[in-house]
Amino acid sequence: MANPCVDLSGIFPPIPTPFDSSGNIDQGALKQHLEFLGGFNLRGVVVMGSNGEAVHLSIEERIQLLEVSRDLVPESKLLIAGTGCPSTKQTIEISKRSADIGANAVLVLPPHYYKGRMTTEVLTRHFHAVADGCSVPVILYNMPACTGIELNADTIATIAEHPNIIGLKDSGGDVVKLGALHQRLGDGFQLLAGSASFLLPALAMGAVGGVLALANIAPGQCLAIRQLALAGDWNKAREIQLRMIEVNAAVTQRWGVAGLKAAMSLLGLDGGYVRAPLLDLEASAIDLLKTILIDSQIL
């Protein structure tokens, strides 16, 4: 049966999927990055999320990526698999396969192609079916910038009534909503900031951690914000949070996955290429990104 007691407290990098020049998954680069992340006290990693270009992967590639990652991620760390698909049937199937491979939980986007039909009733039926059909806990994933759907507090609270739905990664940035959800659902429903841009405010509103693209290149800083907040040193936590705002924007909304992979390369990590139709960063953008990394004290 499912284990709804998985503790999500901590920081998770949603790792990029490194592609070689031929467009294939670069397992060597993946191993290098996971070894780098293994040097930090992270709670685990997310595979096949938005930063992992999951929408660009075939089902076979998703399974391959998850199998390789499970072999490389220690059992002491959580491995969360992004399994959202356009249909309920597809989502259940890949969630089951992910659980069989060893994922500790699945992170599920709402189906969004027919967004005009995605009412609270439809979304609740979808997520409850996935939670019923999966042997590991389900984490809701609110990503309105990509899906065009904003899961509001009432919808989330209704979906969260299922005992195998244990939390929410929210990338919308509405910390008031996070506070309302924490007040309404309590500690039993775990909230994760979906961006380092609002990690500290989210923690103040009851979040237990975050799934942060920035944690791929600045895991120490992301961890420090959370630890300082837990220790009550809000001034120092705020100082680091403010320093991370510009660089986080650079590797998320400004340049996206291409920016994150370029930043990894500037730091001596192999982020690999992006997969078409995305384009890798041009030289002028890389120069600007380098300046931002230096100003943020990451590089």
**Per-residue confidence in pLDDT tens, the chain, 299 aa:** 344 589 999 999 999 999 999 999 999 999 999 999 999 999 999 999 999 999 999 999 999 999 999 999 999 999 999 999 999 999 999 999 999 999 999 999 999 999 999 999 999 999 999 999 999 999 999 999 999 999 999 999 999 999 999 999 999 999 999 999 999 999 999 999 999 999 999 999 999 999 999 999 999 999 999 999 999 999 999 999 999 999 999 999 999 999 999 999 999 999 999 999 999 999 999 999 999 999 999 99
**16 prior amide bond cis, ω within 30:** no
Active-site residue flag, 169: yes
pTM for the predicted model, two decimal places: 0.96
Q: Which two tokens stand for residue 112?
A: 């969004």
| CATH of span 10-248 | 3.20.20.70
Provide the β-strand partners of residue 193: 170, 210
Q: Which of 169, 177, 261, 290 is catalytic?
A: 169
